[in-house]
Amino acid sequence: MPVIVVGGYPRFQYGGFWFALVDPWPEYWANDWYDRDEFYVDYIGDGYYLCDRRHSDVRLRSTSWWISGSPGARLRHS
């Protein structure tokens, strides 16, 4: 899954939505964790979290948004 960094925050697309990590990933994770690890996004309690199957004890808070319609459409946050 491609991860891009914008304004210091990593972003990625998953299930038709864009996500940006709010929490930093732990320093002990490999630099290419997003290419090697299996992970998923889940809604837990109060928001969205990135969950890495290899590091099941860590959940990273993230924010999400989707773009509706055609190019130039407004961004909608969830």
Say whether pTM exceeds 0.75.
no
- Please give the C-alpha separations between residue 78 and each of 12, 18, 51, 61, 67, in angstroms, as whole numbers: 15, 10, 18, 13, 11
Q: Mean of the pLDDT values across residues 8-19?
A: 81
Question: pLDDT digit string (tens) for 22-33?
Answer: 888 899 988 888
Long-range contacts of 41-48 (CB under 8 A, 24+ apart): 41/14, 41/15, 41/17, 48/19, 48/78
Q: Which range of residues forms the domain containing residue 65?
A: 4-77
Residue 68: pLDDT band with limits 50, 70, 90: low
- Tokens 């990593």 correspond to 10
Q: Mean of the pLDDT values across residues 8-21?
A: 81
Helices (H), the chain: 33-36
The alpha carbon dihedral of 43, 48, 53, 59 has a sign of: negative
Q: Structural domain tally of the chain?
A: 1
Mean pLDDT over all residues of the chain? 78
